[in-house]
Amino acid sequence: MPRLKKEAPSQDPIEQDFLDAIDRLRDGEPKNKQLKVRKAKGTLKVNVANVALEAGHSRTLIALETGCRYPRVRELIKQAKTGHSRLPTTLNEVIARLRAENAELRVQLNTHKAAVLAHFNARDKAENEAARERAAASRLRKEIAESVKVVVIASREA
């Protein structure tokens, strides 16, 4: 089976510098002296400032939210921050990811089905109880109507 390409090749040497810097930071092997010190301290992170420092280019090329000159680099940095890896490179990885997602969705579906069933049972029980109460109230009204007898009580003064 053919393998999927990791990503499209870079046409711009500056973008390639940024991509190489991201790879070095992910691997924990920076070339920049300041970043080597941060690595020794254990505070090395993949972020816009560190990638720009490692690449040797201005941070503003990748830091702007809108009008970013290298949006693909910015997206890779965001993915590295959140811990998401790049897109799967083989079909087996795609299949494994889809199977895991499918399993999660099945669990959610079963949870929602259980909640709906509990709601349905509670509503059915309440409707049955309301029908019994209406029937009892009707019976009581009927009994009261039948048992009403007018009794004249004579007063003592008369």
pLDDT, averaged per 10 consecutive residues of the chain (158 residues), comes to 54 88 91 92 90 92 84 86 66 87 92 96 97 95 80 67
Q: Is residue 2 part of a domain?
A: no
- Predicted pLDDT at 94: 85
- Asked if 25 and 31 count as a contact pair (C-beta separation under 8 A), the reply is no
Same domain, 83 and 24: yes
Look at residue 144 in the predicted model and tell me its pLDDT. 84
Per the structure block, which two tokens stand in for 44?
């090395």
Domain housing 138: 88-148
In whole angstroms, give the CA distance from residue 42 to residue 75.
Answer: 24
- Measured N-to-C along each axis, helices 48-55 and 33-41 cross at an angle, to the nearest 10 degrees, of 140
Query: Is there a single domain that holds both residue 19 and residue 63?
Result: yes
Inside any domain, residue 78: yes
Query: What is the spatial distance between Cα 76 and Cα 26, in angstroms, rounded to a whole number?
Result: 11
Which residue has tokens 């002296």? 33
Are 98 and 123 part of one and the same domain?
A: yes
Q: How many domains in the chain? A: 2
Q: Does 6 map to a domain?
A: no
Q: Show which of 71, 87, 103 is a domain's final residue.
A: 87
Residue 108 lies in a domain: yes
> Other CB atoms closer than 10 Å to residue 35's CB: what's the count?
22
**Tokens read off for 57:** 């280019």
Confidence at residue 1, expressed as pLDDT on a 0 to 100 scale: 43
The verdict on 67 and 125 lying in the same domain is no
pTM above 0.75, yes or no: no
Q: Tell me what pLDDT residue 17 has.
A: 92
CA distances from 52 to 18, 30, 33, 58, 144 (A): 7, 12, 14, 6, 89
